[in-house]
Chains A and B, each alone.
Chain A
Amino acid sequence: MNFRRDVFQAISDPTRRAILSLIAVGAMTPNAIAGRFNSSRQTISKHIQILTECELLKQEQSGREIYYHLNPEKVKEVSDWAEQFRELWEGRLHHMDKILKSMKKD
């Protein structure tokens, strides 16, 4: 089971990213989400399902309505994962600076 790969698949779709950005601002019902897109409700519902399956979205029942909200922990996990590759390069650039300084001395 590789949930990270699933997360990347989930966010590889522009509509799903748009849904995430919408929900990041505030919890929404499935109807409200679908109302913001030109696609069919069925299509949007499928996108929401994928986002929920990979835990980027969480469901919350409020009275008779279901609200979707963002799961900040999961989003952070994804950005932390990317951050380690950036840090790797930052470290290399630091090494390069040192090398260039020692080249000068030679």
Chain B
Amino acid sequence: MAEFVKVSKLFDAAVEEVWKLWTEPEYVMQWWGPDKFTCPVAEIHFKEGSTSLVCMKAPDAFGGASHYSIWKYTKIVPLESIEFIQNLADEKGNKKKPTDVGMPADFPEDVRTLVTFKRVGEDKTEMTVTEFAHFGQMSHFAQLGLEQSVGKAAAVFGS
């Protein structure tokens, strides 16, 4: 497994507050759903070995389908890091194959997710979310600068 997605953000907040975004259902419900989606369910069992159930619901204009995910916590270091495995699930929290819940077959399964919290200053916290997947080769692509190379190749072959 290798890095698949890695995003960071510096928040104007103490690490204790940023941490709560992951531990308090009321906050999870406000951020899990993408834009215009809602998150009607966030059953958070924030403990190593336990599993949380979250749901994102599409807007009615997009069919209003609900997509459930489970996060199984593998390691929690208070105010430092959270590690969990993401999977698609049914409404009871049973793991499902992407195709079973109407997602494309290439939707990643068993996505190991690492969230780290770094106190950068008073009321300043840098949070980084990294998703690892079996096909993490994508980041390898990025590391190789292949996109750039592709541009060059396109220029060469396009002429």
Chain A interface (Cβ < 8 Å from any Cβ of B): 2, 4-5, 8, 11-12, 17, 20-21, 23-27, 69-70, 72, 75-76, 78-79, 81-82, 85-86, 88-93, 95-97, 99-101, 103-104
Contact = CB atoms under 8 A, between A and B. Distances in A.
Contacts of A89: 5, 7, 129, 131
Contact of B153 (A72, A79, A97): A72
Interface SS of chain A: helix, strand, loop or mixed?
helix
A12 B135 contact: yes
Contacts, number: 111
B4 A17 contact: no
B153 A25 contact: yes
Nearest to B157: A69
Nearest to A4: B106
B153 A69 contact: yes
Contacts of A88: 34
11 contacts: A5-B106, A11-B137, A20-B144, A21-B146, A24-B146, A24-B150, A69-B157, A88-B34, A96-B127, A99-B27, A99-B31
Interface in B118-158: 127, 129, 131, 134-135, 137-138, 140-142, 144, 146-147, 149-154, 156-157
- 5 shortest interchain CB distances as A-B pairs: A24-B149, A95-B31, A8-B135, A82-B138, A100-B13
Nearest to B125: A100
A99 to B, nearest CB: 5
Contacts of A27: 156-157
B141 A92 contact: no
Contacts of B27: 99
A14 to B, nearest CB: 8
Contacts of A75: 141, 146-147, 150
Given A8-B137, A92-B31, A96-B11, 8 more contacts: A2-B105, A4-B106, A8-B106, A12-B134, A17-B137, A86-B5, A100-B13, A100-B17
Contacts of A103: 13, 17, 20
A5 B105 CA distance: 8
Nearest to B123: A104
B138 A78 contact: yes
B92 interface: no
Contacts of B31: 92, 95-96, 99
